């Protein structure tokens, strides 16, 4: 008997206030790592009308001009004049950054393993996890990038919405915007895209019904519905409130880390709760979530399952994860018990090993702060590499 379900995911453009905050936090992290690759950073940003607040903790020798970085990010997004509702050239900026807690630093610099070992300690065991918590990585074979179709298409629409604004194709658009995609599934597989919602910030003079809505359909939605999705004919809602003139930090306070589902798998997978932006890779909230995606993606790329979710858990100050779980939801093509045992052998999940293998002590994080951290096969997104798929497949043959 056919089993029908629907899944919905959303994305937002880089001008959404929460994403503005994420980009500022990650741009500051990148500038710090550019000078000091071993830096510790937990940087949080708040944006509101005419004001940016940067707060957090640092453990670094780097000295950067925080207001210069903030203003550069705002101008790049498009908030560069009062006409845009927020002017990065003149907004107020408050900076309150303190030193990292010595109690946290102790767990990173001298792990539980190194304090309890009787003999020589393996170097990669010396660095403990920067916090306790649970991290989840997910992959599936629904799209070429091995991501769920709803979030993949929502990101594609959001990026296209930004592109037509930046290139002047739709010159009346402003930086803020949101997309949402609902997909009908049958027997666990995507059957059709049923609904698309696009909310685009715009200038006061544009006619939404006669100009903006049809042009969003033609320039944003239709180019994104390609291949087998071209015939889906979804219900389309463009600016369903009627108008969207006030947007960005003027309309809504933005905070770092408030779009964790947009950043990951769009509600298709579980989430451990930790945000990413502004955190250096010693924080397993970020680095272990990347490693879990890396492992899950290689399982799917190896053809070992249709869906894979990798769960990791850590204790603060302890190098080795206290829990590793591999879930394939009954879609496995090999013995799931063997698969669960092999995955930890192929992916070293200690924090120092993750940083080494994924080369995370580099300034690559600003690019992750909008349009998702996963499914991006671009330079710097090392956790998207499929380099271990062939070895995994051979080991389980």
Q: Where are the beta strands (DSSP E) in the chain?
A: 4-12, 40-48, 51-59, 80-81, 86-87, 92-99, 133-140, 173-186, 189-202, 235-238, 254-255, 307-314, 323-327
Q: Taking Cα atoms as reference points, which of 260, 291, 27, 16 lies closest to residue 151?
A: 260
75 annotated as belonging to a binding site for a ligand: no
The string of DSSP codes covering 18-77 is: HHHHHHHHHHHHHHHHHH-TT-EEEEEEEEETTEEEEEEEEE-S----HHHHHHHHHHHH
Residue 201 in marked binding region = no
Separation between Cα atoms, residue 135 and residue 276, nearest integer Å:
11
Tell me: is residue 165 an annotated ligand-binding position: no
Euclidean distance between CA atoms 211 and 61, whole angstroms: 53
Is 286 annotated as a binding-site member? no
CA gap 264, 152 in Å, rounded = 10
| Residue 341 assigned ligand-binding role | no
86 labeled binding residue: no
Residue 125 in 3-state DSSP?
helix
**215 annotated to bind ligand:** no
357 is in an annotated binding site: no
Is 297 annotated as a binding-site member? no
**386 has binding-site annotation:** no
178 is in an annotated binding site: yes
Residue 16, marked binder:
yes
Cα 48 from Cα 29, distance rounded (Å)? 21
- Strand 323-327 relative to strand 307-314, pairing: antiparallel
How far separated are the first and last CA of the chain, in Å rounded?
Answer: 32
Q: Annotation-wise, does 244 bind a ligand?
A: yes
The verdict on whether residue 231 carries a ligand-binding annotation is no
Question: Which residues fall in the annotated binding site for ATP?
Answer: 16, 176-178, 243-244, 252, 258-259, 275, 279
Question: Which residues fall in the annotated binding site?
Answer: 16, 18, 44, 57, 100, 176-178, 243-244, 252, 258-259, 275, 279, 283
Question: Which residues fall in the annotated binding site for Mg(2+)?
Answer: 18
Question: Which residues fall in the annotated binding site for K(+)?
Answer: 44
Question: Which residues fall in the annotated binding site for L-methionine?
Answer: 57, 100, 252, 283
């Amino acid at each position: 008997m056919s089993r029908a379900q629907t899944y919905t995911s959303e994305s937002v453009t880089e001008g959404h206030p929460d994403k503005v905050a994420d980009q500022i936090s990650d741009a500051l992290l990148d500038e710090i790592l550019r000078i000091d690759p071993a830096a510790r950073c937990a940087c949080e940003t708040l944006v509101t009308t005419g004001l940016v607040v940067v707060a957090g903790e640092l453990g670094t020798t780097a000295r950067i001009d925080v207001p210069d970085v903030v203003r550069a990010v705002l101008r790049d997004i498009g908030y560069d004049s009062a006409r845009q509702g927020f002017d990065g050239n003149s907004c107020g900026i408050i900076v309150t950054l303190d030193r990292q807690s010595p109690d946290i630093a102790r767990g990173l610099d001298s792990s539980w393993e190194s304090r309890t070992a009787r003999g020589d300690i393996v170097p990669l065991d010396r660095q403990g996890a920067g916090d306790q918590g649970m991290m989840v990585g997910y992959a599936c074979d629904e799209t070429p990038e091995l991501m769920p179709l709803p979030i993949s298409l929502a990101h594609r629409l959001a990026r296209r919405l930004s592109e037509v604004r930046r290139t002047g194709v739709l010159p009346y658009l402003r930086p803020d915007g949101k997309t949402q995609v609902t997909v009908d599934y049958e027997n666990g597989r995507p059957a059709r895209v049923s609904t698309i919602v696009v909310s685009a910030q715009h200038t006061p003079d544009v006619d939404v019904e006669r100009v903006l809505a049809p042009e969003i359909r033609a320039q944003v939605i239709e180019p994104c519905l390609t291949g087998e999705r071209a015939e889906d004919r979804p219900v389309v809602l463009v600016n369903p409130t009627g108008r969207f003139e006030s947007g960005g930090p003027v309309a809504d306070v933005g905070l770092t880390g408030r779009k964790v589902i947009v950043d990951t798998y769009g509600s298709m997978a579980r989430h451990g709760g930790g945000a990413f932006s502004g955190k250096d890779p010693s924080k397993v909230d970020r680095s272990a979530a990347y490693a879990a995606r890396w492992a899950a993606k290689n399982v799917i790329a190896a053809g070992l399952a249709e869906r894979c979710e990798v769960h990791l858990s850590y204790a603060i100050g302890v190098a080795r994860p206290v829990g590793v779980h591999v879930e394939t939801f009954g879609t496995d093509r090999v013995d799931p018990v063997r698969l669960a045992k092999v995955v930890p052998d192929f992916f070293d999940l200690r924090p120092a090993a993750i940083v080494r293998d994924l080369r995370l002590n580099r300034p690559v994080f600003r690019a992750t702060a909008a349009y998702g951290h996963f499914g991006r096969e671009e330079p710097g997104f090392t956790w998207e590499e499929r380099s271990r798929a062939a070895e995994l497949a051979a080991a389980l043959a």
